[in-house]
Structure 1
Amino acid sequence: MISFFRKIRQKLLQQNRVTRYLVYAIGEILLVVIGILIALQVNNWNENRLDRQLEKKYLKGLQRDLNRDTEGLDRMTINRKDVINSALRVMKIDAPATMQELREVNDDFLKIHYWYEFTPNNNTFHELTSSGNLSLIRNDTIKDLLMSMEVLNAEIVQNRNHIRRDYEHYIYDELAYYEWLPLINLDTLGLKNESIPIMEISEDRFEALCKEAGEIMNNKVIRNGWTLAIANNAYMIELYQEMRKHNARLQALIEEELKD
């Protein structure tokens, strides 16, 4: 093809047709430029197509993470509410007087003192930021919400660490002097990971456990810990609810983006 054009140019020069030669040369240059522009356009289109495919992959990954987070936030909200309700109940009683009350107090102790944590599923977001591909997300609102959720999660972690310190200082250290899980069969708990309750205990054992439960319930340090647990868990629930709102809005935006 190049040799063909060269022959035409040489022929025009030999025939002393300079004007036609110039016109032809300019036309040839324009054809080359147009060809380059078309090639660049095709290349840009192909790159945009690949970027869009990668963006959709990330959006679907974010969607999966958010769905798992929704379940985790709902579950943790229930757990935190259980802690508050159990702490409020045991703080209104001096000591259990019946076997039923002893079992209820024991159940409340388990709910209050069991440690709960919410860990967000943010692997896709971290992959986006660490790889430098966050710019692939075209919707600026989605990127802003992702950053806001990271800030909110940092606040959740900070508050959770604060609660943990309170538990260790006011509750766990004090409870070390008392018997743990007195109405749970420890053999089944250790071997089968099942919390099977002990159905029958002796009268002496019952009286001893009621006395010890009463001491726990009137321990001022532990009661201070329960008070802090009520306040801090209530605030944690507010943070979960805020995270849940961000989560729902982000999922709606991603759903719209994936329709394009």
Structure 2
Amino acid sequence: MIKFFRHIRRSLINQNKMSKYFKYAIGEILLVVIGILIALQINNWNENRKQNNLRKTLTTSIQEDLKADINYLNKYTKRVDTLFQTLKDQSAYVNRISYSIDSLVHFLKNDINIFIVSFKGFNNTTYESMKTSGQLNVLDELLKKQLYELYILQNVGRESYISSRNDYFDEIENIVASYPIPVPFSFIKKSPHNEFLWDNLNKKDLLLKLNSWGSLKANFFRTTNSDFKEILDKTKAILQMIEENHD
């Protein structure tokens, strides 16, 4: 093709047809420009197609993460609500006028539940990966903003959970150091040695430690569920927004 155009130019020059040569040259330039523009347009179309495909793939992955979080947080918050209600019932039971110190000791020896609900973490692998790789820019601005707000909420909720959990664990260590309450492993098992540890109790100290334990556990349940329910609502809203707008 290049040889063909070169032959035409040479023929026009040889025939001294300069006006036709210039017209031809301009036409050739226009053809080249049009070819470049078409090539750029095709390239842009291919890039846009790749970006759209990447956006759809990442958005689908984000949807799966959000669905997993909603499923997990629903179960987690319901479990915490149940245990919190049990703690409230125990508090009402212990605070009855007819409830004696001996009954309180029996509660500590047999019925106290020191466990809390462990939190495994959020399903934000896709978001973290997109942050690291710089792929967040392929998302719509509104979705990117909403995901960032959710990410902040998750971090705040996680930090609050860890802080409340550590405070509670410290209190468990405090009460276990003074009273042989049921724990996953007790070096001193139920035996005469164990019973000896319950003799000559300081009743005031026992009540203060039990009150501190129950109050910290209640605070853990209250703050954790408040934070995680807010995160759950935000997660549901983002998922609904994606489902309404995702092609």
Q: CA shift at 1:96, angstroms?
A: 8.2
Within-5 A mapping of 1:91-130: 91-92=91-92, 93=94, 94=99, 106=111, 109-110=112-113, 113-130=115-132
Q: Are the counterparts in 1 of residues 80 and 117 from structure 2 also a CA contact under 8 Å? A: no
Given the superposition, is the C-alpha separation of residues 216 and 56 from structure 1 closer, same or farther in structure 2, using an over 3 Å criterion? farther
Identical counterparts, % of pairs: 30
Per-residue Cα deviation, 1:93-123 (whole angstroms, up to 9, x for no partner): 14686xxx96xx72xx33x523421410010
Counterpart residue number, 1:189: none
Match of 2:216 among 224, 228, 234: 228
Q: Which amino acid aligns with 2:133?
A: S
Given the superposition, is the C-alpha separation of residues 146 and 15 from structure 1 closer, same or farther in structure 2, using an over 3 Å criterion? same
Distance (whole Å) between structure 2 residues aligned to residue 256 and residue 58 of structure 1? 16
Given the superposition, is the C-alpha separation of residues 71 and 55 from structure 1 closer, same or farther in structure 2, using an over 3 Å criterion? same
Question: Which aligned runs of 4 or more in structure 1 are off by greater than 3 angstroms?
Answer: 94-97, 176-182, 215-219
Secondary structure of the 2:67 match is: helix
Where structure 1 has 5 or more consecutive residues not aligned to the other structure, the ranges are 187-203
Distance (whole Å) between structure 2 residues aligned to residue 49 and residue 134 of structure 1? 17
Q: CA shift at 1:82, angstroms?
A: 2.6
Per-residue Cα deviation, 1:197-227 (whole angstroms, up to 9, x for no partner): xxxxxxx9xx99x99xxx7995312312321
Where structure 2 has 5 or more consecutive residues not aligned to the other structure, the ranges are 186-191
Counterpart residue number, 2:231: 243
1:153 matches 2:154: yes
Q: CA shift at 1:142, angstroms?
A: 0.9
Equivalent pairs, count: 232
- Pairwise CA RMSD of aligned residues? 3.3
Q: CA shift at 1:4, angstroms?
A: 0.6
Q: Are the counterparts in 1 of residues 80 and 225 from structure 2 also a CA contact under 8 Å? A: yes
Q: Are the counterparts in 2 of residues 156 and 239 from structure 1 also a CA contact under 8 Å? A: yes
Q: CA shift at 1:49, angstroms?
A: 1.0
Given the superposition, is the C-alpha separation of residues 176 and 60 from structure 1 closer, same or farther in structure 2, using an over 3 Å criterion? farther
Distance (whole Å) between structure 2 residues aligned to residue 216 and residue 21 of structure 1? 111
Given the superposition, is the C-alpha separation of residues 216 and 166 from structure 1 closer, same or farther in structure 2, using an over 3 Å criterion? farther
Given the superposition, is the C-alpha separation of residues 217 and 140 from structure 1 closer, same or farther in structure 2, using an over 3 Å criterion? farther
Counterpart residue number, 1:196: none
Counterpart residue number, 1:87: 87
